[in-house]
């Protein structure tokens, strides 16, 4: 009964407006081996605050949550260098140790993802392109543009790797970028404004 009440308390704190309370909840959930706890941590990987995403990656690694492998790989494209590193560490805890050689908390992380040869890394680059939360608007746009340019290169060389993502990536890359913000000052426009090729006929279903 007490354990259930404790879990519910932490889950409620994930709805707090304070990122510090959400971070504390995510850290605490990393000590509770429960399906509901894991599901909440997976959702926390999308939190606007990098501190919460970072803590969620660490907690999922601690819990050895196998269902976190794909979401953590996508998080390797995060704009925050520490989030990328924590995601790689979480993956190492799940037996995916090679990502720690690729992700070093450097600006070259995306380039190494693009050339690592693991098709799952495409999801990380797409996640980087889609990201709308970061430290500063200008640095986030630069990070997303770098991901878009790498995806353009992949589209020209190995288009089959982009087959599951093509339409989404093309839209995000081609839409004109404008510096607008929504409620709370969060950025809402997701365009990059670079030319992205049409999907080749041979990759279409």
| Same-domain check for residues 132 and 48 | no
Q: Which residue has the tokens 């009964």?
A: 1
pLDDT per residue as tens digits for the range 78-127: 999 999 999 999 999 999 999 999 999 999 999 999 999 999 999 999 99
| Same-domain check for residues 116 and 100 | no
Q: Is pLDDT at 2 greater than 90 in this prediction?
A: no
CA distances from 28 to 5, 10, 54, 80, 155 (A): 13, 7, 14, 22, 42
| Same-domain check for residues 99 and 122 | no
**Continuous segment of H or E residues that includes residue 2:** helix 2-13
Q: Is pLDDT at 23 greater than 60 in this prediction?
A: yes
**Domain count of the chain?**
2
Q: Is pLDDT at 186 greater than 70 in this prediction?
A: no
Q: Of 40, 71, 106, which residue constitutes the final position of a domain?
A: 106
Q: What domain range includes position 194?
A: 108-205
Q: Is pLDDT at 136 greater than 80 in this prediction?
A: no
| Same-domain check for residues 5 and 98 | yes
Q: Is pLDDT at 168 greater than 60 in this prediction?
A: yes
Among 24-38, 66-80, 181-195, which stretch is predicted with the lowest mean pLDDT? Answer: 181-195
Q: Longest Cα pair distance anywhere in the chain, in angstroms?
A: 58
Residue 181: phi and psi, rounded to 5, are -130, 145
Q: What is the CATH number of the domain that holds 18?
A: 1.25.10.10
CA distance linking residue 28 with residue 32, whole number of Å: 7
CA distance linking residue 183 with residue 106, whole number of Å: 31
Is there a contact between 91 and 83 (Cβ–Cβ < 8 Å)?
no
Q: Is pLDDT at 179 greater than 80 in this prediction?
A: no
| Same-domain check for residues 12 and 58 | yes
| Same-domain check for residues 28 and 101 | yes
Question: What is the CB neighbour count within 10 angstroms for residue 115?
Answer: 12
Q: Is pLDDT at 134 greater than 80 in this prediction?
A: no
| Same-domain check for residues 88 and 144 | no
Q: Is pLDDT at 187 greater than 90 in this prediction?
A: no
How much is the average pLDDT of 120-146? 89
The residue among 201 and 16 whose pLDDT is bigger is 16
């Amino acid at each position: 009964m007490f354990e259930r009440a404790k879990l519910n308390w932490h889950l409620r704190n994930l709805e707090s407006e304070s990122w510090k309370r959400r971070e504390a909840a995510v850290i605490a959930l990393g000590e509770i081996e429960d399906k509901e706890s894991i599901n909440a941590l997976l959702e926390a990987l999308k939190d606007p605050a990098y501190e919460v995403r970072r803590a969620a990656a660490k907690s999922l690694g601690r819990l050895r949550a196998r269902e976190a492998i794909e979401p953590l790989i996508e998080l390797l494209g995060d704009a925050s260098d520490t989030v990328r590193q924590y995601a790689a560490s979480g993956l190492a805890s799940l037996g995916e140790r090679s990502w720690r050689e690729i992700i070093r908390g450097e600006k070259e992380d995306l380039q190494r993802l693009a050339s690592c040869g693991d098709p799952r890394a495409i999801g990380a680059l797409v996640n980087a392109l889609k990201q709308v939360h970061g430290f500063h608007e200008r640095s986030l746009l630069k990070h997303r543009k770098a991901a878009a340019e790498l995806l353009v290169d992949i589209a020209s060389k190995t288009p089959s790797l982009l087959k599951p993502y093509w339409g989404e990536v093309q839209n995000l890359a081609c839409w004109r970028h404008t510096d607008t913000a929504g409620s709370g000052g969060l950025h809402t426009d997701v365009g990059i404004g670079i030319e992205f090729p049409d999907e080749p006929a041979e990759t279409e279903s």
